A and B are shown apart, each in its own frame.
Chain A
Amino acid sequence: MVKTNLYRNKKPVLKWGSFLVLTIALLAPVFAVRFTIEFYKKSTMDILASKYVGVVQKYDISVKSADLASEIERIEGLNNSMKTMAANLQKQINAYETHLKRLFDSDSLLKTIFSVWVQNSENWMVLSHLDMRDSKVSMTFFELYNPELRSSGQTLEERLTLSGYRVQKSIDYDVEMSFQNKNVTRITLEGEK
């Protein structure tokens, strides 16, 4: 017996009821959006405004649906200018930090030298030559000192060693001056950090 397929030649049709169900199923979300969109927009923007309340107030940004696109452009422009500003500030910070570091180095060296420098009746120092460059220092000075007390040249050498310099000291001469009960000396110090 031949099995006949009754649907083979049937035209595919849609019942009116099925068409309605299909249409309503498609339109339901459209209506859902239609009646909730205002509320949705308002609440979304309120959340956004409260999330960034600081910058929104500071830069006077209006969070309204009407001018959202132009406002975004304004924020983008603001961001670009802030980026260049931050880069400039960073440059300035770097310059200040390098300056302060070097300032501290050179100042502390000069302070060390000045704190030791004496010119009184017991001890008299005269600077002959001072060279200070990068982390190197070299100086030559004359000193008239009482041999029973310690010479300031020695103190200076110790202070420089304490502040991190490798010091080389060479005494060019150290002569007794009997008529003054003093020694006269010429010292060269060379230090490097």
Chain B
Amino acid sequence: MRISRRLGIILAILLFVGFAGFFDVYDYLRFNFLIKRMDSQLNVLSVLDRNVMQKKAYINVLNDVMQPQASEKDLQNITADLGLSLKKIEGEDMAYKVTGTCLPSDFKRIVAWLMHHGNFRIDSLSVQNSVKTAVSVPSMMTVPRISIDMIVVGVMGR
């Protein structure tokens, strides 16, 4: 029995395509495509995951260096306590302008407080003492006053 060659080839290919469809061979191709994509996405995820973990660990280390920390409220309290004015600088994150006059001991206190707390730093400082001599004659002297103009910058920790 003989059939036309063209017809035979077309018939064989049709059978191939038909069987392939019937047995879900296309699913195999689709699966391969998906599994490749999943592999690359999981790879990206594991890299990012490691990156984020390392960064978090590093931030913890930096946070530990900055201990002890104080909050914005604490800064407000101490400046109010010493009679200094505290103004937040607009457009900057946690930057404050501290101005006013106070006693030398109070000046020491706020500077020591700022140096003690790791998350605040004195960005710029300008102080002027009201005394004009080193020799103090108690009856003549007015109480020395220090006028402060400083910029305090902080970062928010944990």
Contacts and interface: CB of A to CB of B under 8 A. Distances in A.
Interface string A165-191: 000000000000100000010100000
A19 B122 CA distance: 91
Interface in A134-157: 134, 142-144
B59 A92 contact: yes
A26 to B, nearest CB: 4
A82 B49 contact: yes
Contacts of B24: 34, 37
Interface in A1-49: 11-16, 18-19, 22-23, 26-27, 30-31, 33-34, 37, 40-41, 44-45, 48
Nearest to A45: B35
A68 B155 contact: no
A54 interface: yes
Interface in B26-54: 27-28, 31, 34-35, 37-39, 41-46, 48-49, 51-52
A118 interface: no
Contact of B19 (A13, A27, A92, A186): A27
Given A30-B19, A52-B42, A126-B131, A12 B5 contact: yes
Given A37-B24, A100-B66, A89 B42 contact: no
A41 B34 CA distance: 11
A142 B130 CA distance: 12
B35 A100 contact: no
B1 interface: yes
Contacts of A131: 125-127
The contact size tier of chain B is: 35 or more
Interface string B38-80: 1101111110110110011011001101100000000000000
A59 B45 contact: yes
A14 to B, nearest CB: 4
A72 B45 contact: no
Given A110-B122, A184-B135, A15 B2 contact: yes
> 3 closest A-B pairs (Cβ-Cβ)?
A142-B134, A14-B8, A26-B16
14 contacts: A13-B5, A14-B2, A33-B25, A68-B34, A75-B38, A79-B45, A89-B55, A96-B63, A99-B153, A132-B122, A132-B125, A142-B134, A177-B135, A184-B133
Interface of B: 1-9, 11-13, 15-16, 19-20, 23-25, 27-28, 31, 34-35, 37-39, 41-46, 48-49, 51-52, 55-56, 58-59, 62-63, 65-66, 93, 104, 111, 115, 118-119, 121-129, 131-135, 144, 153-155
Interface of A: 11-16, 18-19, 22-23, 26-27, 30-31, 33-34, 37, 40-41, 44-45, 48, 51-52, 54-56, 58-59, 61, 63, 65, 68-69, 71-72, 75-76, 78-79, 82-83, 85-86, 89-90, 92-93, 95-97, 99-100, 102-103, 106-107, 110-111, 124-134, 142-144, 177, 184, 186
